[in-house]
Amino acid sequence: MSDLLVWAIVLIVAVVLISILAAAIKILREWERGVILRLGRLQPLKGPGLILIIPVIDRLYRVDQRVITLDVPQQRIITRDNVSVEVDAVVFYRVIDRLRSSFRPLGSPKAQPPPNG
């Protein structure tokens, strides 16, 4: 084999290995937690820091555990005694249970599983 062909093969292998390594290293910030699915099966939960995953097999879901604010638009209402009032609100929430927040349905509070029994 020629020298040029050997160097081309070495270069291709090095690029592939570097790209796989770059895809395998994930960094979770202090306020994030990781939920990892390996081929659809739940793995132990990961905390902040350096996380290594298998690029094609694992899937990492980041869960933000900071307090999140939602601004409710200002509304004008009329009370029973015909007094006009303006209401303004802010909703604060944060994720406590990582698994339930990752695998529960999103949307309205009505989208909860039926009670056991």
User: What would the pLDDT profile of 20-63 be if each residue is shown by its tens digit?
Assistant: 999 999 999 999 999 999 998 988 889 899 999 999 999 999 98
* 75/102 Cα distance (integer angstroms): 32
CA distances from 112 to 16, 86, 98, 100, 105 (A): 44, 32, 16, 11, 7
Average of per-residue pLDDT values in the chain: 86
**Residue 98, pLDDT score:** 80
Token pair 């306020």 in the structure block, residue: 31
Position 115 scores a pLDDT of: 53
Check residue 86 and give its pLDDT.
93
Question: Of residues 114 and 98, which shows the higher confidence score?
Answer: 98
Q: Answer whether residue 117 shows pLDDT above 50.
A: no
Beta strands in 39-83 (DSSP E): 41-42, 49-52, 58-64, 68-78
The residue that leads in pLDDT, 95 or 107, is: 95
pLDDT bin (cut points 50, 70, 90) of residue 2 is confident
3-state secondary structure of 72: strand
Strand, helix or coil at 34?
Answer: strand
Here the tokens at position 3 are 């020298």
Supply the pTM of this predicted model. Answer: 0.65
Q: How confident is the model at residue 105 (pLDDT cuts 50, 70, 90)?
A: low
CA 49 to chain centre: 15
